[in-house]
Amino acid sequence: MTTGKIAIPYYGSLTHPASGFERIFFIVEHDVQHPTQTQPISLGIWDAKQTPFLPTWLQEIGVRQVVCSSKPDETLLDTLINAGIKVFSEGSEAARRILKQLNLI
């Protein structure tokens, strides 16, 4: 059993001031039955020309959670939540717990 895939923006934040949305993500398949084992990590690259809406792309690849270093702006946060994607920022206890279980911190 898994919690589904977890996406972690490559540079930590879902947005860049100069370039817009992050396009590169670490994708982790998290197994809640074996949280201390090494989890497979791959790289996901969002192609906005193929799938213009970031939450749609995340859903298509099976992402159910996003962990980022800073809280996204409210509009993006609401959009992700409405798409059924949980968002955790670095300052939250849930984000620290997830990253620790994945041996990323």
CATH number at residue 15: 3.30.420.130
Which residue in 62, 55, 47, 45 sits closest to 82, CA to CA? 55
The tally of domains found in the chain comes to 1
Residue 89 has a pLDDT of 84
pLDDT at 1 over 50: no
pTM greater than the 0.95 cutoff: no
Which residue in 22, 20, 5 sits closest to 65, CA to CA? 5
User: 94: pLDDT confidence band, cut at 50, 70 and 90?
Assistant: confident
Q: Residue 26: give the domain boundaries.
A: 2-101
How far from each other are the two terminal CA atoms of the chain, in whole angstroms?
23
Question: Phi and psi (nearest 5°) for 67?
Answer: -120, 120
